[in-house]
Amino acid sequence: MPPGWLPSRPNGGWAYRDRIPPAAAGMGVVAFYAGRYGHTSAAAWERRLADGEISRNGMPLRADAVLVGGDRLVWQRPPWPEPAVPAHWEVIHDDGDLLVIDKPSGLPVLAAGGFLEHTVLRLLERRHGDDPAGVPRPVHRLGRFTSGLLVCARRPATRAWLSAQLRESTGSRASGASGGVVGGVGGGVPPCRKLYRALLVPGRLALAAGDSLAITTPIGRRPHPPLGEIWCAAEAGDPAALAAHSQLTLLESGGEADLVEVAILTGRPHQIRIHCAAVGAPLLGDPLYRPGGWARPGGLPGEGGYRLQARWLRLHRPEGSALELEAPAAEGLGTTAEGPAAQDHTDRCSGGPKG
């Protein structure tokens, strides 16, 4: 195992809690769980019930039972082994409150998808549990296999400020609003800007190096086995689709991969992976999204194989000062001429197409 990795080991298990809504009254326990967690079969829930893992209103259940509105169900999931993950990162910025790290690919940010202890949050809690200033906690998410800049903060007020800045700036972009951030963050504050780099399947973009392409494919939920539903390029006419806007710039083309930089002006789930696939150029090695922005049946969002890095970020502190941060280029995501040949970050983040 490489140095700095956490080995695979069992966690302490977890309690999944559900309160039965009035609409589910009259259902059986197995039917409720199989409907709510569609990736698990009714037979699996029957086994968990028989093994005494499920309780209702504090009392263990061993057989199926009819539910009443307001019932409280708890599934006590037994400990399970979590995969090995990289547990070392470089600190990009730390002012005693705001902490920005260069998250490694393969490390989840928060508990999800079979991970509970092997996450950035748990590692921060262990490493900073005695910090008088408090534990830095993530303000936003990056996908497990997305590397790069992850913003954390120790003070709850700072986390709330940054979260609102991210939310309101992307919301104003999605709705077509102009100007600065509005609402809880205060008018006149420029929105944050984020730049990513990725390797794409080569030869799919009708662009020359330095040219840009605006991508505005809406993102929505579509049926998908075995998860039930998954985020994809939205179906035409989907009233629940989320507006999404990315700006893709081709940095270098090659026989094995095309290197691109993507500015995201909205923060939708899996936006870069979906948008690149939507224009016919999926991320190289992406096991889930195929040309058109749809998901492969059986593929899962947490599977790796692609290269994506949160490379550059500009945000604003509560007192109004701007902070610009850049992570070192991840392996395979640097250009042959990072200096004079690279476009100015501010220009790339500011809006319209350049090609």
Reduce the DSSP state of residue 320 to 3 states and report it.
Answer: coil
Per-residue pLDDT, 108:
97
Per-residue pLDDT, 320:
82
Q: Tell me the residue type at 136.
A: P
Contact 273, 111 (CB under 8 A): no
* DSSP-H helix ranges across the chain: 29-36, 42-50, 120-127, 156-174, 271-278, 345-349
User: How many angstroms separate the CA atoms of 311 and 61, rounded?
Assistant: 50
Reduce the DSSP state of residue 170 to 3 states and report it.
Answer: helix
Contact 82, 116 (CB under 8 A): yes
In 10 A of CB 296, how many CB atoms? 12
Reduce the DSSP state of residue 101 to 3 states and report it.
Answer: strand
Q: Which of 340, 150, 351 is nearest to 263 (CA)?
A: 351
Per DSSP bridges, beta strands 146-153 and 308-316 are: parallel
Per-residue pLDDT, 37:
85
| Chain centre distance of CA 184 | 24
pLDDT less than 70: residues of the chain: 167-190, 337-355
User: In the Cβ-directed half-sphere of 27, how many Cα atoms lie within 13 Å?
Assistant: 19
Q: What is the DSSP letter of 235?
A: P
Residues of the chain by 3-state class (helix, strand, coil), percent to 5: 20, 30, 50
Per-residue pLDDT, 168:
52
User: How many angstroms separate the CA atoms of 64 and 244, rounded?
Assistant: 44
Contact 29, 57 (CB under 8 A): no
Cα distances (Å, whole numbers) of residue 217 to 221, 257, 272, 280 = 13, 23, 11, 12
User: How many angstroms separate the CA atoms of 147 and 167, rounded?
Assistant: 21
pTM of the entire predicted model: 0.86
Q: Which residue has the tokens 């936003």?
A: 140
Span 107-117, pLDDT tens digits? 999 998 899 99
User: How many angstroms separate the CA atoms of 160 and 185, rounded?
Assistant: 9
Per DSSP bridges, beta strands 219-224 and 258-264 are: unpaired
Burial 326-348 (b: 16+ CB within 10 A, else e): ebeebeebbeeeeeeeeeebeeb
Per-residue pLDDT, 342:
41
User: How many angstroms separate the CA atoms of 23 and 68, rounded?
Assistant: 10
Q: Which of 124, 115, 34, 102 is nearest to 73 (CA)?
A: 34
Phi/psi for 292 (5° steps) reads 105, -15
User: How many angstroms separate the CA atoms of 345 and 92, rounded?
Assistant: 18
User: In the Cβ-directed half-sphere of 37, how many Cα atoms lie within 13 Å?
Assistant: 14
Per-residue pLDDT, 175:
46
User: How many angstroms separate the CA atoms of 160 and 150, rounded?
Assistant: 16
| Chain centre distance of CA 15 | 23
Contact 330, 105 (CB under 8 A): yes
